[in-house]
A and B are shown apart, each in its own frame.
Chain A
Amino acid sequence: MRFHRLDLIKYGKFSDRSVEFPAAKQDFHLVVGPNEAGKSTLRSAIVDLLFGIPTRSVLSFLHPLNELRLGAHISNPSGALEFHRAKAQKQTLRSPSDAVLPESALIPFLGTADRNFFDQMFGLDHTGLVAGGNNILNAENDVGQILFQSAAGVASLGKIRDALVAEADKLWAPRKSTDRAYYIAADQLERATAALKEATVRTKVWVEANNRGEALQESLSGERDRHRQLQSRRSSLERIRRLAPSLIAIRDSEMKLAELGEVIDLPIDAATILSVSERELAIASQRLELRDSEVEITTAALGKIHLDEVILGMATDISALDKLRLQYSAYNRDIERRKNEIAAHWQDVCHACTQLGWMPESESAVALRIPKLLVQRELRQLVRDHGGVIQALRSAEKAESNKLSEIDQLSKQLAGVQSGEIKPALRAALANAKSFGDSGTTLQKQQRVLTKAKSALEGLLRELRQWQKPLADLPAMQPPSQEKISRLLQDRLGLVFDRKAELIRLENQKAEVGRIELDISQFKERHHPTTYEAVLQTRQERDASWLAIKTGETTLQQAAQKFEAAMIHADGVADRRLDDVEEATELQSLLHQLERERQILLTIKSRYSDLENEIQMFDDLWAEQAASLNLVDMPLEEIGAWIIKREKALAAAAVYQDAQDDSDSTCRGVSEARAGLINALRETGLPASEADSLSVLSVQAESFIQGIDGANVRRETLSAQLLAAQTLATTLKQSTDDAKAEESRWTEAWSNALAKAGLSADSDPGSAEGALELIGKIAEKLEKMRQIQVERIDTMNADLKEFSVDANRLAEIIAPELTTGSAGEIAVELANRLAQARESHAERERLRETLRSANVKVLEARESIQTATANLKPLMEKAGVDTRALLAEAIGRSDEHRRLNTGLAEAKTFLLNGGDGLTRLQIEAEIDAADLTQLVSGLAKINDELSDTVQRQTDLSADLANASRILSDIGGSDAAAQAEAQRQEAIARMSDVAERYVKVITAERLLRWSIDRYREEKQGPLLERAGSIFSTLTSGSFRKLVVDFEREPMVLEGLRSDGKPVGISGLSDGTRDQLYLALRLAALEMHLEQAMPLPFIADDLFINYDDVRSKAGFEALRALSEQTQVIFLSHHDHLVPTVQDVFGKQVNIVFL
């Protein structure tokens, strides 16, 4: 199939663009376009046209996705087709008139090729070329892989095989490893099996445990029976030992009772009663004797006492008199003191009278001169009122005069106030001017804002540095988005990191190569090994010498010695090599190692340089993009910051523009307001200068208006104040008249009061007040003198008189001889006599009490003697005796009888209680049958046997408990079931792993085997054709490609024109790319021999080639272009002459 025409109807940046591909012998077409010209779009258009436009396409930036459309005119030897490809879910294949075409319409042209296959087989770009070259290097030890990868256009065969090997290794390998899935599961299986073994309890084990438990149970029962028997025997012996003494005691008591015979049974306390009664009789007799003599003595003492009954009868009066004596003893002194007080008060009165001008004749005379209380009060009131009356008069007069002078002042002020009028136009002009506030400041402020915005804008524009643009151009720019930049930066950073990593590897590898070289040189120094080359060399020398002899160059005689020496030397070297074969082998191994490491070094170098190139390309690409934005030399790292700065500059420009607009508008307003204000002022008749600023004019107008307004307000205020003052003045005059009348009324009252009080008529209120005070003092003193005389002195004299009368009365009754004495002496003597009479009376009462008590105790003693005798009487009657001695004997017999009976009963009770339920007869029989002497030893023996059986029971119980525990441990646990489940889980895991391993390893072996077979089958023809192309591509530097079958593994080599083979790692990067291209083209040519031809799309394949190599490349493509259409896309127009050189001037060149 070939394209005659490709229609880019709506696709990417293209609209209705057609590209013609006219047929020619060499069906080669060069499409040239600079970057972004749509070259890559063209390549993707071809694929999309043939195989459909993907659901999502990056090429819908201009035309909507659903409108994308391509068209073409294609043909092959069997026919031609004009068709369109639309973007749709289905039925995408259309005729140019948009009729739906079946999807199968392209099958005659494409065969079974799908998008993937077409891209792999018929598409190649520079990246693919380089990747192919690298893959060849990576697979250099596997010729099959190289051939397959190159021929199929796939790069991942090695990766797939490696992935299979890696997966298999993770699953299983003969060597056990904890990382391998199989062994992890195997370990689980092992652990679970061990756990199962541990947890499983065989039935046999259970049966044994059960049997042992039963046997132990039986033994334990036997031992318990024996224990019971021993205990029974021991209790019998212990009973004998316990009861034998009681039995002996019983028998003894019974014998003694029989001996005692008949006994009168007296009460148990008879002996006590007897002894108590005897003691009581003795005590009572003694007491009777003592009390009889006491009665006698007391009666005698009573007869001696004399008592004064008269004085005792007056005791109350005598005591009262003595009390009064003590009470009045201080009265005479007190009366004298009070009289002195009265005299002192009288002196004070006399002094006051003198001040008042009165003559103090007597108390009563003075008392009569004191004015009446009402008069005093009136006089005091008038004194108090005097000040108020005078003050009221003065205030009224002052208020009246003040008000009159105020009226006078207000009238004068009112006459002085001026008047005027303001026009509305002036007020309006002023209001307008004021709306601008302080216009000067406002304008200044706006100017500052403007300046600041301008300088900010300029600063930001400066920050754009050399990429600064006129402000008008900035918004129109379309710089890349931040996301895109960060992605680019990331991509670049990734590359730089890779390069750094590669550089480290490079250094390491160099060091490794150096190390091995050092090893080799050291080895050589140490061993001087003989190399194969040395052997060959000596043999060559020997053979050359022989050849010289053979050809007759020299005579045998001449050369024999040299030949012999060479022969011996050669043999010696060969022998030494055989002798030193170990060293030689080791050296060889080192050399191989060196070679390997050097090859690795080369690979790393190549990768490093690739990365360098990639970074360079990346940077170039960026430089192009930057240039397209007119940002030449803009580093990628800075574009982000630059864009932000640009955005800031745009924002600052907007701010500047706003500030400018504000400023202009304010200026205009101010100037209009100023003109209006000047007019208004002039119309009012005020002078207004054109030079004055708006503020000055505003102040002028404002002060004029304020002046006029202020005067009007003042006149109104003063008028109101004058009217009010005049009204108030009338009222104040009336108040002054009233105060004057009040004063005359007071003066009249004052004269009257002075006359009534007996004070001189010219007394002023002050002296009158002093006279009133002295009068008060005289009245007070007179009152005190009267009180002392009446209340104190007169009362005491009365009391003393009454006391004297009482004393004489009592003295006449009791002791008339005392009446001659003073009342005090009488009282003292009477008191002494009363005290003596009272003492005699008390003594007589005490003796009488003693006598009464003694008589009572005599009676008590007699009663006690009778009671004791009565207590003994019933006992004596019962015992049939009459003396206390006989009674004592009877009581002794009775007590002995009782004691024996009690002992017997106790012994019998003990015997029966301790007899474990046996009767006396059984016990007697048991004790009588026993040998009491053997009792203790028998008991000891049984106790030993008991200890033994207890120990045995303890042992058996422990064994039984243990056996029971073992048995109960087999309690239905599911541990074994769990372990078995885990085992099965492990087996399942192992089984999964094993299955996968079998499949993976089979796949890997299959792949390896088939690739080997592929090589065997294909290497002949493929390498022959590829070698020829390679020769063309390298301009004959290489002759052909060969496989070195001798090497293991065998390797692919290029044979230089001089016959020298060069391995893949020995090829330069560019040459290796050429090798890949040669292999790809050869495979494609071979494919085309069997299959339907499709156009080969080469996308800037020779991007890094010089003209010579490019030409060689086009030469190689020329052969292909005779088999199928070749469309070569490039952004280098310098290739045009080269293409025309190779394909002739008529070659189709399309410029996009």
Chain B
Amino acid sequence: MKFIHAADIHLDSPLTGLSAYPDAPVEMLRTATRDAFTNLVTEAIEQLVDFMVIAGDLYDGTWKDHNTGIYFCKEMGRLKKAGIPVYLLFGNHDAESEMTKKLQLPDNVFAFETRKPTTFRLEHLKVALHGRSFKEKETIENLASGYPAPLPGMFNIGVLHTALEGATAHANYAPCSLDELHAKGYRYWALGHVHEHQIWQGASTVVFPGNLQGRHIRETGPRGAVLVTVDESGVPEVERLFVDVLRWYSLEVNVAECNSLSEVVVAIGNELDGIVENSPSSIPAAIRVTVIGKTPAHGDLFGLESQLRAEVLALAAAIGTERIWIEKVKVNTSAADDGERVRARVDALSDLQELLEAAESNPEFLKSLQKDLLGLVNKAPLELQTAVPYFKDIRSGDLAGLVHEVRPGLVSHLAKVE
């Protein structure tokens, strides 16, 4: 007997942080979460699984387009043709969505009720599935505690959307502890909500399959569901199924040894080659390049940040625009010597460096800078207020950090040019 356990599909939620540039593989990836889900369904049909479990968060809660639901039904239709039933549990996002209530699911899709735990018995497989959907988003009661006792002689699967203990990165919905799950007497816990893949072996096998498709730079690496194969003795074997169509990578390149922009570009190129070599050619990579290190090229990088981005894009283009999408090129370098060399010159530039340092604590300057920057901040749309980290500091007038960040680059830049 084998089944697929997926969760946190977030159908039609967009990839964020990717700005389009000429030749970026935009068209290919605008429907990434759908394409990943289609891959999953195809995989289920090809693997001839006995059933599929979706442990919550099928859609994004705020997503309003009913087409997404219709698309989901169509994919379920494909599984129906292949004779594969689906056991669907609604999580916090689904509870929020109007679609959940109104969508007319095909008859091979069985949804867990919200009022009380539901048990589905698959007599021919000797499988029992227990689960309870979220009635509302803010479900903070312990749902697992109300699940029924395991059915004797059956392979008992608990389906649960939960933050589990300690998963602080995600909202603390339907909390419960790992011990509690082990103690329940089920053989397998099909969990959802936490986007990173996790597995605990014990009395039960407890699994977060992770989300189906990484959607931003905080969801790096391969993504997908799990394929669970249960042998005759009832021991589940869990194998990851990667169905994602774009993979995120955060690439830190230490350029401490680089003296110029061109050397930095070469260093980045080498690292990019490494990613390309070690990732499947069929899946494009969205890469954030962060340049770090105390480097003599700091001044160059400050003045030529746009050129650096252009050159990295050119590298990506050379590797193949269908292979790589540069999400961002971040310069997080610092001056090689913290300004010591400039200070030692005892000339006009070292005087200037001192003055620049003073600017950080000059309230008059900071005030006038805030005024200048507020022009942009006040005009920017709401989405940008959270997307640009500087905006919060600008609004609160806490600009010392920004000045501190910009200053060394400026000094290095001045020292570098003639």
* CA–CA, A1012 and B284, complex, Å: 50
* CA–CA, A986 and B72, complex, Å: 27
B33 CB, nearest partner CB in chain A, Å: 8
Q: Which of A985, A1011, A1014 contacts B26 (CB 8 A)?
A: A985
Residue of B nearest to A201 (CB): B66
* CA–CA, A1007 and B30, complex, Å: 42
* CA–CA, A202 and B33, complex, Å: 20
B70 to A971, Cβ gap below 8 A?
yes
A1086 CB, nearest partner CB in chain B, Å: 9
**With A988-B17, A1010-B355: A994-B365 Cβ-Cβ less than 8 Å:** no
Q: Which residues of A contact B369 (CB under 8 A)?
A: 1002, 1005
B355 to A977, Cβ gap below 8 A?
no
Q: Which residues of B contact A990 (CB under 8 A)?
A: 380-381, 384, 387
Residue of B nearest to A148 (CB): B348
B71 to A974, Cβ gap below 8 A?
yes
Q: Which of A154-162, A256-264, A1067-1075 touches B?
A: A154-162
Is A644 in contact with chain B by the CB < 8 A criterion? Answer: no
* CA–CA, A160 and B300, complex, Å: 12
* CA–CA, A147 and B344, complex, Å: 20
Is A595 in contact with chain B by the CB < 8 A criterion? Answer: no
B406 to A999, Cβ gap below 8 A?
yes
Q: Which of B122-130, B261-269, B410-418 touches A?
A: B410-418
Give B322-346 interface residues, CB cut-off 8 Å to A: 327-328, 340-341, 344-346
* CA–CA, A1006 and B400, complex, Å: 12
Q: Which of A115-123, A376-384, A683-691, A1112-1120 touches B?
A: A115-123
**With A981-B14, A1005-B369: A202-B344 Cβ-Cβ less than 8 Å:** no
Q: Which of B110-118, B155-163, B201-209, B370-378 touches A?
A: B370-378
B67 to A991, Cβ gap below 8 A?
no
User: What interface size band does chain B fall in?
Assistant: 35 or more
Q: Which residues of B contact A155 (CB under 8 A)?
A: 418
A289 CB, nearest partner CB in chain B, Å: 101
A973 CB, nearest partner CB in chain B, Å: 5
B193 CB, nearest partner CB in chain A, Å: 22
B306 to A996, Cβ gap below 8 A?
yes
Is A114 in contact with chain B by the CB < 8 A criterion? Answer: yes
B410 to A1007, Cβ gap below 8 A?
yes
Is A894 in contact with chain B by the CB < 8 A criterion? Answer: no
Q: Which of B142-150, B310-318, B388-396 touches A?
A: B388-396
* CA–CA, A159 and B416, complex, Å: 13
A1006 to B410, Cβ gap below 8 A?
yes
Residue of B nearest to A117 (CB): B345
Is A203 in contact with chain B by the CB < 8 A criterion? Answer: yes
Is A85 in contact with chain B by the CB < 8 A criterion? Answer: no
* CA–CA, A973 and B302, complex, Å: 45
Q: Which residues of A contact B102 (CB under 8 A)?
A: 203, 206-207
Is B167 in contact with chain A by the CB < 8 A criterion? Answer: no
Q: Which of B67, B101, B346, B390 contacts A976 (CB 8 A)?
A: B67
Residue of A nearest to B327 (CB): A988
A981 to B344, Cβ gap below 8 A?
no
* CA–CA, A752 and B85, complex, Å: 145
B12 to A980, Cβ gap below 8 A?
yes
Is B179 in contact with chain A by the CB < 8 A criterion? Answer: no
Q: Which residues of B contact A182 (CB under 8 A)?
A: 376
* Count of chain A residues with a beta carbon within 8 Å of a chain B beta carbon: 80
Q: Which residues of A contact B376 (CB under 8 A)?
A: 172, 182, 994, 997-998
Give B80-111 interface residues, CB cut-off 8 Å to A: 98-99, 101-103
**With A148-B348, A977-B34, A1006-B356: A998-B67 Cβ-Cβ less than 8 Å:** no
Is B64 in contact with chain A by the CB < 8 A criterion? Answer: yes
**With A156-B417, A984-B15, A1006-B406: A972-B387 Cβ-Cβ less than 8 Å:** no
Is A987 in contact with chain B by the CB < 8 A criterion? Answer: yes
Write out, one digit per residue, whether chain B residues 1-31 have a CB within 8 A of any chain A CB (1) or not (0): 0000000000011111111100000100111
Is A1018 in contact with chain B by the CB < 8 A criterion? Answer: yes
B219 CB, nearest partner CB in chain A, Å: 14
A214 CB, nearest partner CB in chain B, Å: 12
Write out, one digit per residue, whether chain A residues 819-839 have a CB within 8 A of any chain B CB (1) or not (0): 000000000000000000000
A1009 to B365, Cβ gap below 8 A?
yes
Residue of B nearest to A186 (CB): B381
Give B49-92 interface residues, CB cut-off 8 Å to A: 64-74
**With A116-B418, A201-B66, A1009-B359: A977-B14 Cβ-Cβ less than 8 Å:** yes
Q: Which residues of B contact A160 (CB under 8 A)?
A: 303, 413-414, 417
Q: Which of A185, A1005, A1014 contacts B351 (CB 8 A)?
A: A1014
A981 to B31, Cβ gap below 8 A?
yes
**With A160-B413, A203-B98: A1091-B346 Cβ-Cβ less than 8 Å:** yes
* CA–CA, A682 and B156, complex, Å: 140
Is B292 in contact with chain A by the CB < 8 A criterion? Answer: no
Is B403 in contact with chain A by the CB < 8 A criterion? Answer: yes
B401 CB, nearest partner CB in chain A, Å: 11
B104 CB, nearest partner CB in chain A, Å: 8
Is B383 in contact with chain A by the CB < 8 A criterion? Answer: yes
* CA–CA, A205 and B64, complex, Å: 11
B70 to A970, Cβ gap below 8 A?
yes
Q: Which of A120, A147, A982, A1018 contacts B418 (CB 8 A)?
A: A120
* 29 A/B residue pairs, CB under 8 Å, sorted by A: A112-B345, A113-B345, A114-B341, A152-B347, A155-B418, A156-B417, A182-B376, A202-B65, A202-B98, A203-B69, A971-B67, A976-B65, A976-B68, A977-B34, A978-B31, A981-B26, A992-B19, A994-B376, A997-B376, A1002-B403, A1003-B302, A1003-B409, A1006-B365, A1006-B407, A1009-B365, A1014-B351, A1083-B347, A1083-B348, A1091-B345
What are the nearest 3 A-B pairs in CB distance?
A: A972-B71, A152-B348, A112-B344
Give me 13 other A-B pairs in contact (C-beta within 8 A), A206-B102, A978-B31, A999-B405 excluded: A117-B345, A121-B347, A186-B381, A207-B102, A971-B70, A972-B72, A972-B74, A985-B20, A987-B387, A988-B387, A1001-B372, A1002-B369, A1010-B352
Instruction: Using CB atoms and an 8 Å cutoff, list the residues of chain A in contact with chain B.
Output: 111-114, 116-117, 120-121, 147-148, 151-152, 154-157, 159-160, 163, 167, 172, 174, 182, 185-186, 189, 199-207, 970-978, 980-992, 994-999, 1001-1003, 1005-1007, 1009-1011, 1013-1014, 1017-1018, 1083, 1087, 1090-1091
